[in-house]
């Protein structure tokens, strides 16, 4: 069971490490919120979304996706449009805390946005289902549980760690200049992800 746990943790860590729309949004929320506690719901939402995808992958959705290539194509097309939009929003966003919305409405918007960049991100979906799902097939019983638990644990630790790191940057960067640069860099990374998806779709076709 220990080997299955280590396999799941290292595999999921490798998948979650690259900087994408989900990671950049969680990190930025930790940086822009005046108090770290206000960024925690975003970390929780991202962790729950990953947990949902991991459980779907482990319980067999990966088999459906891998046997029906049209699903991958549809996810890719939707994902390209979504990433282009998210990149534009990120590029135009100001690195300040916007108070024109009520606390409840602002929290709802942040959570919805977090879930969207998590559950509508084709890279996250395909990585989770295609890699974690197929890897989980090799385990049964307690070993599969250990593998799945390790993947989920990594997501929770990772997103809370990102939030804390973002909060540390917010303390250092009082005037928001570094956050402004981070927004632009994040947007470019997101657009690059979209271009990569377009290339993979054309090459695969």
Tens-binned pLDDT, residue by residue, of the chain (205 aa): 888 898 888 888 877 776 677 888 888 888 878 788 888 999 999 999 999 999 988 886 556 655 666 766 776 677 677 767 767 876 776 654 444 333 434 788 888 888 888 887 777 777 777 678 777 877 778 888 999 999 999 999 999 999 998 887 765 555 556 666 766 776 776 677 678 768 867 776 5
pTM: 0.72
Which of 33, 43, 41, 42 shows the shortest CA–CA distance to 170?
Answer: 33
In a domain, 141, yes or no: yes
Spatial contact of 202 and 66, defined as CB atoms under 8 Å apart: no
Q: Is residue 82 part of a domain?
A: no
Residue 195: inside a domain, yes or no? no
In a domain, 61, yes or no: yes
Q: How many domains does the chain divide into? A: 1
- For residues 142 and 2, is the Cβ–Cβ distance under 8 A? no
Examine residue 180 and state whether it is found in any structural domain, yes or no.
no
Residue from 48, 71, 201, 59 nearest 119 by CA: 48
Residue 17 lies in a domain: yes
Q: Has residue 39 been placed in a domain?
A: yes
Distances (CA, A) of 68 to 54, 61, 65, 202: 19, 11, 5, 18
Q: Is residue 86 domain-resident? A: no
What range defines the domain where residue 110 resides?
2-69+94-173
């Amino acid at each position: 069971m220990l080997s299955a746990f280590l396999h799941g943790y290292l595999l999921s860590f490798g998948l979650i490490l690259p900087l994408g729309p989900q990671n950049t949004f969680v990190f930025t929320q930790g940086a822009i919120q005046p108090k770290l506690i206000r960024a925690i719901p975003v970390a929780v939402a991202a962790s729950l979304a990953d947990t949902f995808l991991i459980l779907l992958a482990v319980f067999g959705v990966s088999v459906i996706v891998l046997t029906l290539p049209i699903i991958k194509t549809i996810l890719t097309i939707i994902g390209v449009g979504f990433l282009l939009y998210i990149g534009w929003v990120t590029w135009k966003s100001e690195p300040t805390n916007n108070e024109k919305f009520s606390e409840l409405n602002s929290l709802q918007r942040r959570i919805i946005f977090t879930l969207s960049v998590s559950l509508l991100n084709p890279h996250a979906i395909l990585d989770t289902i295609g890699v974690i799902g197929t890897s989980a097939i090799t385990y049964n019983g307690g070993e599969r549980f250990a593998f799945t638990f390790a993947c989920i644990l990594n997501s929770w630790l990772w997103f809370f760690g990102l939030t804390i790191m973002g909060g540390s940057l917010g303390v250092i960067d009082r005037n928001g200049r570094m956050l402004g640069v981070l927004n632009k860099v994040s947007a470019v990374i997101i657009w690059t992800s979209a271009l990569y998806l377009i290339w993979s779709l054309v090459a695969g076709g």
